[in-house]
């Protein structure tokens, strides 16, 4: 029986339109250098990465695309819509398996929140324009207290992708005593009215609002996510703009991290499942595996995506053919360097170490044979154990993901070299 693989394309913060204006990779030290020549010295990063994503979609069977938010900057509604249109035209309905809009998750980032809309005391209201646009595009809406779910099923294997809104507190005003607050808003409103240009106005707004971003999810969402994950046997991926652990670069800012990420983290670990968490925001690509020694069956695998102008991740989840449980996750990293997107060494994370402690008779036989010989060729295993080639391949994958053996895969299965893992 062939093994099943679900492939998810993870794309980080876009920050449109700045990204489209080009961040050509030229070290420009002479401001008076003719701009007409600069374009011929360094390519546009967004265009290069877009072409590479299109090539990956064309040659891989991608099942879904997850965008990590921050499609725009400073809550620019027009730019958000243009970015969504750009993504739709560039990536959807293409490739070996056409991707439909309902297989694309777009979660909001702090920069997608419009600062004027954020003044409303109704927390949901500032996401209305985002949800209206997602709805128009046929993509799942992101409410603050419930997650949209995409279900992908292939044979006996199934996977669910949940989108979470971690930007509920973004753009909200810090509470001051009424008198101070009134005066502060009046002063800022007057400064905005007097601002000579849009950029001056933005600077004033940034000054008032940027430091008041408060990443968080509403408590009801945590409970609902926990219950939904517990109630299904499908493998789970949760996506949110903000990370669940502090970023590596020290950040001096109030509320720099999600203020209730500890509670969300514990709730996801409390499902006693292996859960993958995809995020953006930090413009970096850290990978963390969070475990609790008192809860060996649970683990949280957090995977960050870089800025879209730096590249993207292809997340492959492999399922065992016989049991349909997730065996492992491979993060394939495509990164832009010197104008070219190239695949870097991937990161492989086993997902079934504790769940699959009971091996089948065939698994045990092959493991014993390899352990005894220390090293065996594929043809030796086939001859000794009388397996069909695809059965041997399947068992080899299972044992590799469980770190019980290593395999050097040459052209034909009989030429493969199996080695014991210790
Ligand atoms: Fe960002």
pLDDT band at 20 (very low <50, low <70, confident <90, very high): confident
Mean pLDDT value of segment 358-380:
90
Count up the domains in the chain and report the number.
2
- Domain of residue 221, CATH code: 3.60.21.10
Domain contains 109: yes
> Both 271 and 339 in a single domain?
yes
> Both 48 and 161 in a single domain?
yes
Domain contains 208: no
Q: How far is the CA of 25 from the centre of ligand 1 (A)?
A: 19
Q: Which of 329, 350, 371 is the last residue of a domain?
A: 350
Q: How far is the CA of 233 from the centre of ligand 1 (A)?
A: 33
Domain contains 199: no
> Both 394 and 335 in a single domain?
no
Domain contains 270: yes
> Both 93 and 65 in a single domain?
yes
Q: How far is the CA of 102 from the centre of ligand 1 (A)?
A: 24
Q: Which of 327, 350, 373 is the last residue of a domain?
A: 350
Statement: residue 339 has pLDDT above 80:
yes
> Both 411 and 324 in a single domain?
no
Q: How far is the CA of 228 from the centre of ligand 1 (A)?
A: 29
pLDDT band at 171 (very low <50, low <70, confident <90, very high): confident
Per-residue three-class SS string for the chain: CCCEEEEEEEECCCCECCCCCCCCCCCCCCCCCCHHHHCCCCCCHHHHHHHHHHHHHHHCCCCEEEECCCCECCCCHHHHHHHHHHHHHHHCCCCCCCCCHHHEEECCCHHHCCCCHHHCCCHHHHHHHHHHHHHHCCCCCCCCCCCCEEEEEECCEEEEEEECCCECECCCCCCCCHHHHHHHHHHHHHHHHHCCCHHHHHHHHHHHHHHHCECECCHHHHHHHHHHHHCCCCEEEEECCCCCCCCCCCCCCCCCCCCCHHHHHHHHHCCCCEEEEEECCCCCCCEEEEEECCEEEEEEEEEECCCHHHEEEEEEEEECCCCCCEEEEEEEEEEEECCEEEEEEEEEEECCCCCCCCCCHHHHHHHHHHHHHCEEEHHHHHHHHCCCHHHHHHHHHHHHHCCCEEEECCCCHHHCEEEECC
Chain mean pLDDT for the chain? 88
Domain contains 356: no
> Both 9 and 137 in a single domain?
yes
Domain contains 231: yes
- pLDDT for position 228: 95
- Domain of residue 410, CATH code: 1.10.10
pTM of the model: 0.85
> Both 294 and 412 in a single domain?
no
Q: How far is the CA of 14 from the centre of ligand 1 (A)?
A: 7
Which residues have C-beta within 8 Å of that of residue 90, sequence separation ≥ 6? 50, 53, 54
Q: How far is the CA of 72 from the centre of ligand 1 (A)?
A: 8
Segment 273-308, tens digit of pLDDT: 999 999 999 999 999 999 988 888 899 999 999 999
pLDDT band at 24 (very low <50, low <70, confident <90, very high): low
> Both 258 and 373 in a single domain?
no
Write out the residues surrounding ion ligand 1, Cβ under 5 A: 13, 70
> Both 225 and 333 in a single domain?
yes
> Both 39 and 65 in a single domain?
yes
- Name the residue range of residue 405's domain: 361-420
Q: How far is the CA of 287 from the centre of ligand 1 (A)?
A: 18
> Both 378 and 324 in a single domain?
no
> Both 332 and 394 in a single domain?
no
Q: Which of 303, 323, 350 is the last residue of a domain?
A: 350
- pLDDT for position 217: 95
Lowest mean pLDDT among 4-18, 325-339, 348-362: 348-362
């Amino acid at each position: 029986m062939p093994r099943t693989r679900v492939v998810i394309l993870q794309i980080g913060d876009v920050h449109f339109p700045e990204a489209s204006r080009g961040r050509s990779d030229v070290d420009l030290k002479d401001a008076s250098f003719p701009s007409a020549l600069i374009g011929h010295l360094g390519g546009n990063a967004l265009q290069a990465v877009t072409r590479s994503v299109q090539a990956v979609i064309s040659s891989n069977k991608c099942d879904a695309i997850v965008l990590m938010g921050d499609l725009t900057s400073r809550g620019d509604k027009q730019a958000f819509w243009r970015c969504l249109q750009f993504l739709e035209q560039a990536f959807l309905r293409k490739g070996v398996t056409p991707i439909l809009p309902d297989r694309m998750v777009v979660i909001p980032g702090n920069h997608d929140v419009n600062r004027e809309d954020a003044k409303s005391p109704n927390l949901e209201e500032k996401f209305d324009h985002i949800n209206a646009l997602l709805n128009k595009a046929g993509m799942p809406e992101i409410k603050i207290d419930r997650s949209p779910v995409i279900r992908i099923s292939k044979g006996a294997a199934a996977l669910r992708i949940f989108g979470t809104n971690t930007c509920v507190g973004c753009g909200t005003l810090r509470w001051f005593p009424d008198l101070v607050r009134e005066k502060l808003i009046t002063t800022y409103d007057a400064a905005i009215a007097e601002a000579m240009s849009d950029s001056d106005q933005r600077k004033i707004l940034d000054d008032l609002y940027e430091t008041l971003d408060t990443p968080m999810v509403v408590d009801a969402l945590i409970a609902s996510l926990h219950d939904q994950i517990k109630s299904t046997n499908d493998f789970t991926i949760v996506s949110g703009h903000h990370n669940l652990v502090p970023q590596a670069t020290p950040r001096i800012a109030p509320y720099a991290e999600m203020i209730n990420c500890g509670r969300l983290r514990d709730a996801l670990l409390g499902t006693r499942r292996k859960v993958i968490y995809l995020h953006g925001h930090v413009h970096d690509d850290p990978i963390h595996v969070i475990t609790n020694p008192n809860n060996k069956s649970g683990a949280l695998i957090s995977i960050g995506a870089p800025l879209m102008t730096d590249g993207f991740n292809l997340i492959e989840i492999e399922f065992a053919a016989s049991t349909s449980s997730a065996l492992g996750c491979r993060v394939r990293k495509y990164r832009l360097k010197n104008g070219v997107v190239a695949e870097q060494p991937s990161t492989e994370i086993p997902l079934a170490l504790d769940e699959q402690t009971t091996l089948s008779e065939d698994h045990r036989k092959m493991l014993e044979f390899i352990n005894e010989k220390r090293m065996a060729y594929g043809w030796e295993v086939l001859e000794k154990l009388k397996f069909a080639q695809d059965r041997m391949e399947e068992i080899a994958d299972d044992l590799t993901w469980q770190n019980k053996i290593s395999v050097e895969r040459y052209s034909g299965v009989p030429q493969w070299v199996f080695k014991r893992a210790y």
